[in-house]
C-alpha cells in the first residue's frame, strides 16, 4: 500500500471513530436516571442514592434515582431494556434479576439479561448473614450443622422470596452439609426476621443492614457471613467457609450497573470511569460498607466475566434444588 492509500485509510478510520468520541464528550446531555427495580429504603435503593449523589461530581450533570418495583426486580429491568441506548437510563440491578431469574423463571422472562443489558461495572458485593433464633441451641456453624443432622426436616429457614440469593444460600448449605431443612419464603426482610426473633422460624439468611438492629438488640444470634472470607462490616463474624467441611461455601448478593444493549462503548467506558472514581472516594466507600456492601469496581469486561461465573453457580444450585418460581 503506497503512502497516499495509507493516509486515506487512516483518515477513514479516524473519521469512523469521531462519532463515538463525540458521543462520549457530549455525554451526559440531559438527566441520567438510575432505575432501582425494588422499593425505596432497601439495600439496592440506598446504594443507588449514595452512588447517584457522588456521580453528580464524577460524571457531571444531574443523576436521579427511579424506583420501579415488582416482578422480582424484572419490571424495572425490563424498563431499562426498552429505554434508548444512550446511557441516560441505567439499571442498578442485583444478582436476582440479572443472573438468577433466567434459571428460576426460564421462558417466562420478557428480556434476556445477557443479550439485552450491557454490564458497566460491579458496584458492591453484599454478603448475607446467617442468624438463628435465640431458642435454637447452637452458637456456631458447626453446632448448627450437627443439630440439623440430628433433626432432619425439622429446622426451618426464612428468606425474602423464592429463587433469590437468600434462598440459594440455604440450598447451598443443605447441599454442602448434607442437610434437609424447610424453606419458608416471605415478602421482605421484616417478616422473616420478626418470626425468627419469636422462634417461629429457626434461622434466616438476610442482609446485614436488615439484621443489624436485631443482632445488636440481642433478639437473634448471628453465626456467620456467606462470603468466602469475613466481611469488613463485621470482622468478628466468621465466614461459613471457616468451618472446614464447608470450605467451598461462598454465595453473595451483589449490585451492579447496567445500560441497555446498543449503548455506545465510549459512553459505557465513560460511565465505568465515573463510577470507579466515585467508589474510590473514602467517604462513599465508608457509607456503602455501613450498609453491608463492599465496593468492588470492575471494568466492563471483568464484570461480564464475573456475571458469567456467578451465573454458572446459580444455575447449578437452581437446577440441583429444582427451584421453580410460581
Q: pLDDT, tens digit, for every residue of 227-242?
A: 999 998 889 999 999 9
What's the rounded Cα separation, in Å, for the pair 278 and 256? 14
Write the pLDDT tens digit of every residue in 269-318.
999 999 999 999 999 999 999 999 999 999 999 999 999 999 999 999 99
Q: Do domains 30-126+252-321 and 128-246 have the same CATH topology?
A: yes
DSSP state of 238: P
pLDDT-based confidence at residue 5 (cuts at 50, 70, 90) = low
pLDDT at site 214: 95
Write the pLDDT tens digit of every residue in 173-208.
999 999 999 999 998 777 899 999 999 999 999 999
pLDDT at site 22: 46
DSSP state of 110: S
pLDDT-based confidence at residue 12 (cuts at 50, 70, 90) = low
Contacts of 50 (CB under 8 A, 6+ apart): 284, 287, 288, 291
What's the rounded Cα separation, in Å, for the pair 89 and 27? 12
In the three-class reduction of DSSP (H, G, I as helix; E, B as strand; rest coil), residue 284 is classed as helix
pLDDT at site 284: 98
Say whether domain 128-246 belongs to CATH 3.40.640.10: no
Region 30-126+252-321: CATH code: 3.40.190.150
pLDDT at site 4: 57
Is the torsion defined by CA of 265, 268, 269, 270 positive or negative?
A: positive
pLDDT at site 25: 82
Domain ranges of the chain: 30-126+252-321, 128-246
Give the whole-number percent of the chain exceeding pLDDT 90.
Answer: 85
What's the pTM?
0.89
The grid coordinates listed for 316 are 447449578
Write the pLDDT tens digit of every residue in 39-95.
998 899 999 999 999 999 999 999 999 999 999 899 999 999 999 999 999 999 999
What's the rounded Cα separation, in Å, for the pair 184 and 136? 17
Amino acid at each position: 500500500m503506497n503512502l497516499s492509500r495509507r493516509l486515506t485509510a487512516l483518515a477513514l478510520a479516524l473519521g469512523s471513530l469521531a462519532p463515538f468520541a463525540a458521543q462520549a464528550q457530549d455525554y451526559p446531555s440531559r438527566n441520567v436516571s438510575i432505575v432501582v427495580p425494588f422499593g425505596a429504603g432497601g439495600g439496592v435503593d440506598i446504594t443507588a442514592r449514595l452512588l447517584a449523589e457522588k456521580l453528580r461530581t464524577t460524571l457531571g450533570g444531574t443523576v436521579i434515582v427511579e424506583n420501579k418495583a415488582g416482578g422480582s426486580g424484572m419490571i424495572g429491568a425490563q424498563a431499562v431494556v426498552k429505554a434508548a441506548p444512550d446511557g441516560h437510563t441505567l439499571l442498578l440491578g442485583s444478582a436476582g434479576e440479572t443472573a438468577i431469574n433466567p434459571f428460576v423463571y426460564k421462558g417466562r422472562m420478557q428480556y434476556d439479561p445477557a443479550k439485552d443489558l450491557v454490564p458497566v461495572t460491579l458496584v458492591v458485593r453484599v454478603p448475607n448473614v446467617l442468624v438463628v433464633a435465640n431458642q435454637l441451641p447452637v452458637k456456631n456453624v458447626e453446632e448448627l450443622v450437627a443439630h440439623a443432622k440430628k433433626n432432619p426436616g425439622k429446622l426451618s429457614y426464612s428468606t425474602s422470596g423464592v429463587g433469590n440469593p437468600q434462598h440459594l444460600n440455604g440450598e447451598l448449605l443443605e447441599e454442602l452439609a448434607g442437610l434437609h431443612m424447610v424453606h419458608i419464603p416471605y415478602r421482605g426482610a421484616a417478616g422473616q426476621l420478626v418470626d425468627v426473633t419469636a422462634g417461629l422460624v429457626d434461622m434466616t439468611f438476610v442482609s446485614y443492614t436488615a439484621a443489624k438492629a436485631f443482632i445488636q438488640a440481642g433478639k437473634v444470634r448471628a453465626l456467620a457471613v456467606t462470603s468466602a472470607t469475613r466481611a469488613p462490616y463485621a470482622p468478628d463474624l466468621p465466614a461459613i467457609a471457616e468451618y472446614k467441611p464447608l470450605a467451598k461455601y461462598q454465595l453473595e448478593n451483589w449490585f451492579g450497573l447496567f445500560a441497555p444493549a446498543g449503548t455506545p462503548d465510549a459512553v459505557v467506558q465513560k460511565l465505568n470511569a465515573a463510577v470507579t472514581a466515585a467508589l474510590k472516594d473514602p467517604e462513599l466507600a465508608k457509607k456503602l460498607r455501613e450498609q453491608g456492601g463492599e465496593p468492588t469496581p470492575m471494568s466492563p469486561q471483568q464484570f461480564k466475566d464475573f456475571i458469567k461465573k456467578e451465573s454458572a453457580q446459580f444455575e447449578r444450585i437452581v437446577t440441583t434444588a429444582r427451584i421453580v418460581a410460581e
